[in-house]
Amino acid sequence: MAKEKILVIGASGQIGVELTLALRKIYGNANVVASDLREENELLRGSGPYVSLDVMNKEMLHVQVIRQNITQIYLLAAILSATGEKNPNLAWHLNMQGLLNVLDIAREEKLQKVFWPSSIAVFGPTSPRKDCPQRTIIEPITVYGISKYAGEFWCNYFYGRYGADVRSIRYPGLISYKSSPGGGTTDYAVEIFTEALENGHYTCFLQEDTYLPMMYMPDAIRATIELMEAPAAKITVRTSYNVSGLSFSPREISEEIKKHIPDFTIVYAPDYRQAIANSWPQSIDDSVARQDWGWRNEYDLSRMTADMLENLQEANNLPVR
Ligand code: NAD
Ligand code: AKB
């Protein structure tokens, strides 16, 4: 294990911060290099090496990989669904070229492993709405979903053609308290907690009965690390694995929050993100991940809600309402 040297690209983002910290615990602080286009997230400061890096600059990336003796890359830099619809060309460019740069360098430098996340956004209105299976009709309607679906097949291609050990998960919407989400359709499920604690009220940009697949960040980090540590022979999916955690609607999560903050109120003002949410499945069938590498989620809605509220209160020094 000590021989691994990991580069996390997009380390200052919602997943990057927690994944970098978790990887540093396993591999040692000095062996996990955090990198991002934006400044180092304050939660990472002092915990290990950080380099400023643009994944679109292939030469700069290549130099860093050689200079730092990198053996694994976790590529998290991307533009998410809601922001992607505001600038489709930019989203396609970053999401595709960033991945191709990493895959090319992984092949040239014979890196041991690459992790690249896909999303439930690959699915579209023609996919099954409930318990959406690993293999099914996939016709995404967002540029983000299109880029993720194309990316899945680039990962599969580099594995099949060059033997590159690229692994991937179709994350659901992720809920976390350490760093903020970066422009997705599922972001409401994080905002609702901070607004409930700070103002006792939330105006939700999705309708009350919009069910979406979600997951608490500790489960997502564990899924990522378990997939990356699984023996290669167990990985039968080289596009991207479905993983499932929770499925709830804005009304259900608001009812759960009310158990802790009885005077919490919510109103609904759906915007352009409603159409994106309507195109995605409500829940995911992850039986292939369960079978292949033993995936099991741990958090349910009530445990996650209690943990989120407790940690947000503590982290932000907020009064107990
Ligand atoms: P985020 O927006 O919070 O973080 C992305 C990070 O990438 C940011 O810190 C950003 O500064 C950085 N970045 C952007 N352009 C860059 C560039 N050119 N070079 C280097 N860094 C750059 O996103 P996230 O939520 O942490 O998502 C990480 C990955 O997981 C993405 O691929 C996303 O599609 C995927 N994913 C996330 C979720 C979720 O709910 N958060 C769900 C499904 C899939
Ligand atoms: C988004 O809403 O864009 C992300 C995702 C599900 O990929 N959270």
pLDDT digits (tens, 9 = 90+) for 293-316: 999 999 999 999 999 999 999 887
Rounded (5°) CA angle 75-78-79: 170
At residue 255, does pLDDT exceed 90?
Answer: yes
- Number of residues in the chain: 321
Q: What is the pLDDT of residues 140-199, one digit of tens each?
A: 999 999 999 999 999 999 999 999 999 999 999 999 999 999 899 999 999 999 999 999
Nearest residue CA, atom 8 of ligand 2?
A: 173
The residue extents of the domains of the chain are 6-172+217-242, 174-214+245-282+299-316
Residue 115: name the closest of 89, 78, 88, 145 by CA.
78
Q: Considering the candidates 50, 74, 144, 188, report the single residue annotated as catalytic.
A: 144
Which amino acid belongs to residue 55? V
pLDDT, average across residues 262-288? 98
Q: What is the pLDDT of residues 30-54, one digit of tens each?
A: 999 999 999 999 999 999 999 999 9
Query: What per-residue string of b and e applies to 179-214 under the rule 16 or more CB within 10 Å gives b?
Result: bebbbbbbbbbbebbbbbbeeeebebbbeeebbbbb
Q: Is the CB of 121 under 6 A from ligand 2?
A: yes
| 159 included as an active-site residue | no
At residue 317, does pLDDT exceed 80?
Answer: no
pLDDT, average across residues 258-263? 97
pLDDT value at position 319? 63
pLDDT value at position 315? 82
Residue 280 CA: nearest ligand 2 atom is 6
pLDDT value at position 3? 85
The listed CATH number (3.40.50.2000, 3.10.20.440, 3.40.50.720, 3.40.50.300) that belongs to domain 6-172+217-242: 3.40.50.720
CATH domain 174-214+245-282+299-316 topology: UDP-galactose 4-epimerase; domain 1 (3.90.25)
β-bridge mates for residue 214, sequence order: 173, 246
pLDDT value at position 192? 98
Q: Is the CB of 37 under 6 A from ligand 1?
A: yes
The residue among 103 and 315 whose pLDDT is bigger is 103
At residue 2, does pLDDT exceed 60?
Answer: no
Mutate to test the pocket of ligand 2, among 14, 144, 216 (most ligand atoms within 8 A of CB): 144
Contact between 132 and 285 (Cβ < 8 Å): yes
Report the share of the chain in percent with pLDDT over 90. Answer: 96
β-bridge mates for residue 219, sequence order: none
Report the share of the chain in percent with pLDDT over 70. Answer: 98
pLDDT value at position 320? 60
Mean pLDDT, the chain, whole residue set: 97
The token pair at 232 is: 């290669």
Residue whose entry in the numeric block shows the structure tokens 């209690």: 306
